[in-house]
Amino acid sequence: MRNAKIVCTLGPASDDRNTIRGLATAGMSVARLNASHGTTAHREDVIERVRDVDDEIDDPLAVMVDLKGPEVRTAEIDDPIRIETDSEVAFHEGTDATPERIGLTHSIAAAASGDTVLLDDGRIECRVERVDEDGSVVARVVSGGELGSRKGVNLPGVAIDVDLITPEDEGELRLAARADADFVAASFVRDADDVYRIADRLEEYGGDDVPVIAKIERAGAVENLSGIVDAADGVMVARGDLGVECPLEDVPMIQKRIIRTCVDRGVPVITATEMLDSMIRSRRPTRAEASDVANAVLDGTDAVMLSGETAIGDHPIRVVETMDRIVREVETSEEYAETREQRVPAAADGSRTEALARSARYLARDIGASTVVAVSESGYTARKTAMFRPGVPVVATTPDDRVRRQLALSWGVQPVTTEYAHDMETVLDNAVDAAIDTGAAASGDTLVVLSGMLTELEGTNTTNTLKVHIAAETVATGKAVVAGRVAAPVHRSADGDLSVVPEGSIVALESDFDGEFTGDLDRIAGIVDARPGMTGYPAVVARELGVPMVSGVTLPDSVADGTTLTLDGERGVVYDGDVIAPARRR
């Protein structure tokens, strides 16, 4: 399976149902709807299409509504205009644009002489000369170019006086709550308070369980990174605006710092902007773009994001297939494994869940488990398990289908919806079924099961439980007498006569057996005694031979003589079939 997830922006090239299905098949985990383009009503229709596709496929497909936020953009125009180098241009709040006077969605009168105004991700650069009494900002064009419709405007280091939540955002937040969006991405957050304001507004509209993804787009947000990460449910490294707001040479290290901070806190992080940008028109990415994706994966990002590549590109499905191949290739490398082992964060002081999740990671490695199963109502336990980047798949079981979709963003997690479990036995049964159904485990594999159910389960004294379990059907359980494991055919014996027992058999003694074995004891591979106790004659024999034994077990009539069983003398369990073979193959 692929650990790092893929977020795809849907747009005119990809928002029909067939293409959404194709993107999901190619590897899309989260569909992003960019509120900077299109209408709220159209996005509601697209969400319904995504939900329909999610119902049809096995892997979860989540929806993210990305707020436009208090962005400053140039006016909407029909045809591009040419802005000449060394010319003078005035910026004002308006709806028209000429080479001499450019209308903006918001006033930038907070600028001062000497400030820089960047248009279209810095492709056009201007230097402020003065601010007129009417609020127009007059600037000299340092580097000109062609300016299209509704291009972004950046003023590095200048705080523009605009509300965090715009009237347009209000409509999108209502939509997110009404349509049960899985995530809302908040644009242009400056600090933790901005994240809380978005969450509070969602709660007002009935979307209190919609996670907020904080987009790091401003230099000020980088300075307040720690608080933002603590407040947010996820973080997006929006490198496009960061590359305009901050010195370009700083962005790679800022990206690494953000990813590392998020991984250390167990907060999902998305690396975004221009990852395979050339594939908007080309059928192949550049080598530099492939390296860019690979480095983000090596850094430990939870997800990589495609923007224009899938929204307006010529080959949206092909782009996702390419991204998927790059990620998978990186994740099979020795360098990736080495990096993952070297960057395991410490568990937070006082966090039992983090301590157990970290233990699950190393326990799975040390015992050769094939899968970690995280049983989680809210998704919290599963996200904490992913935080420690185990070397085996993380299968998350949850009774909440919405949580299943939200876990689609978390590194290495394969979410599965299961029925609510009222006891530990059902929890384990669900864990085994989920691991096998997803292909993460096969019958006989060892699983590490981490239960984070909030309701106290019958038979447990804690809401967080770590168990080692075998992915196999249990035939019977009893008292462990002699440790060890063996897989062999079983043969019942009423009188202890071994002459009729094939060599290398598990001998099952009936409840009325009260004698001694006759014949060659070396024929015995293990003993199952229907009578309870640990000190009788069969136990003495088992200890002398060094073969596993379980007492107090009567095999069901459905188990015929000659059936291969696995006897686990350490746990006191009898399993159907040979569950040791997978461990031998490893």
List, by residue number, the catalytic residues.
32, 73, 215, 273
Residue carrying structure tokens 């997978």: 582
Strands (E), 471-511: 474-477, 479-482, 485-493, 505-509
Q: In angstroms, rounded to a whole number, what is the distance separating the alpha carbons of residues 442 and 433?
A: 10
Which amino acid, one-letter code, is at 109? A
Q: 451 with 378: CB under 8 angstroms?
A: no
Q: In angstroms, rounded to a whole number, what is the distance separating the alpha carbons of residues 308 and 386?
A: 29
Q: 300 with 259: CB under 8 angstroms?
A: yes
Length of the chain: 586
Residue carrying structure tokens 């590359």: 243
Take residue 306 and report the two structure tokens written for it. 């495609």
Q: In angstroms, rounded to a whole number, what is the distance separating the alpha carbons of residues 358 and 352?
A: 10
Q: Which helix (H) or strand (E) holds 581?
A: helix 581-585
Take residue 490 and report the two structure tokens written for it. 């079983």
Take residue 157 and report the two structure tokens written for it. 């280091």
Q: 434 with 460: CB under 8 angstroms?
A: no
Strands (E), 67-164: 81-83, 88-93, 101-104, 116-119, 124-131, 137-143, 145-147, 153-154
Q: In angstroms, rounded to a whole number, what is the distance separating the alpha carbons of residues 253 and 419?
A: 44
- Phi and psi torsions of 89, nearest 5°: -135, 145
Q: 6 with 14: CB under 8 angstroms?
A: no
Task: List Cβ neighbours of 133 (8 Å cut-off, separation of 6 or more).
Answer: none
Q: Which of helix, strand or coil describes residue 433?
A: helix
Q: What is the DSSP string of 111-126?
A: --TT-EEEETTTTEEE
Nearest to 515 by CA among 492, 498, 538, 534: 538
Q: In angstroms, rounded to a whole number, what is the distance separating the alpha carbons of residues 504 and 522?
A: 8
Q: How would you label 252-273 residue by residue, b for 16+ Cβ within 10 Å and e otherwise?
A: eebbbebbebbbbbbbbbbbbb
Q: In angstroms, rounded to a whole number, what is the distance separating the alpha carbons of residues 305 and 310?
A: 10
For the range 99-103, what are the long-range contacts, defined as Cβ-Cβ under 8 Å and sequence gap of 24 or more? 102/74, 102/75, 102/147, 103/74, 103/75
- Phi and psi torsions of 346, nearest 5°: -80, 155
Distances in Å between the alpha carbon of 538 and those of 484, 517, 562, 566? 16, 8, 21, 18
Give me the half-sphere count of Cα atoms (radius 13 Å) on the Cβ side of residue 287: 0
